Amino acid sequence: MEKILDFIAKETDGKNYKSYKYCFESVEIPKLDYEDKRGIQVKKKGETDKSQTKSIKELADRISKNGTPLFKYFLDGSRRTYKVDDIAYGKRLYPIIAGQIGVAVCERADKHTFKPVNLKNPLVISIPDIANAQTTMGKDGLFFNNLINKLNEQGILEKQKLKLSKILPYSSKALKDDKYEDRGIAKIQDEMIALEQKVVFELVKAKKQEEMLRKVTMNI
């Protein structure tokens, strides 16, 4: 990755700092202090109140007797994001965010069969749009497409049999109440959602829209 980051800095007239690298999803979330619970009253409602619950066993048994799953296709998307370096343009420092995206659809034809139907797992990288010196001229697309092609021609990627799918530029405008890291992560999240939509479109195009699809949500 070091040579790739050096290449990006050279091609965009920036200076990379080889800073600390980490995965955002592995950063520990600050915990609240729950020691002092005085004065807090808990009302027992919802799941803790049995009078408010309703059994769906009868419905589940009726569906299972049919033998055919109610949902045939299952869609899930996930992503991991990594701060891999900092790069300076002018007097301002910006993070470089790498992303691993996974979007998949599995098919359940019956209760005994579960198989993959579609899988997309691109590697992406998000850098500030100021990396393109002509960003104000509306040429971002062409510039970053050329840059990704040059990156994929680098021997280090070819040797590892890796290929970057896209460069996702995030706004380099002055911060307000956000962080540049959040802007880069948001771009990668948007790309994951776009891939989920693409997978659904491909299912429809394959004339499988008559089957019900379930979006599976998982914590990553």
Question: Does residue 113 fall inside a structural domain?
Answer: yes
List Cβ neighbours of 142 (8 Å cut-off, separation of 6 or more): none
Q: Give the residue ranges of DSSP H helices in 102-212.
A: 140-152, 155-160, 180-205
Better pLDDT: 53 or 173 = 173
Grouping H, G, I as helix, E, B as strand and the rest as coil, residue 95 is strand
CA distance 129 to 182: 14
The rounded distance, in Å, linking the Cα atoms of 185 and 96 is 10
Where residue 220 falls among pLDDT bands split at 50, 70, 90? very low
State the residue for tokens 């992560």: 185
The more confidently predicted of residues 216 and 148 is 148
pLDDT attached to residue 214 = 60
The answer, yes or no, to whether residue 46 has pLDDT greater than 70, is no
Residue 50 lies in a domain: no
Answer whether residue 220 is part of any domain. no
Q: Is residue 52 part of a domain?
A: no
Cβ-Cβ contacts under 8 Å for 22 (sequence gap 6 or more):
82, 83
Distance between CA atoms of 163 and 166, rounded to whole angstroms? 9
57 in a domain, yes or no? no
> Which range has highest mean pLDDT (117-121, 177-181, 188-192)?
188-192
Decide if 47 is inside a domain.
Answer: no
Report the alpha-carbon distance of residue 145 to residue 160 in Å, rounded. Answer: 21
Residue 41 belongs to a domain:
no
What is the C-alpha separation between 102 and 204, in angstroms, rounded?
20
**pLDDT average, residue stretch 81-87:** 93
Q: Give all strands (DSSP E) within the chain, no chain letters.
A: 15-16, 22-23, 73-89, 92-110, 113-120, 123-126, 164-167, 213-215
Q: How far apart are CA 212 and CA 214, in angstroms?
A: 7
Domain hosting residue 87, numbered range: 2-36+69-215
- Dihedral over Cα of 170, 175, 178, 181: its sign: positive
Residue 135 lies in a domain: yes
The number of domains in the chain is 1
Separation of alpha carbons 159 and 1, rounded Å? 12
At residue 20, φ and ψ (nearest 5 deg) are -60, 135
Q: Identify the CA nearest to 127 among candidates 192, 195, 183.
A: 183
Q: What is the pLDDT of residues 154-175, one digit of tens each?
A: 888 888 888 999 999 999 999 9
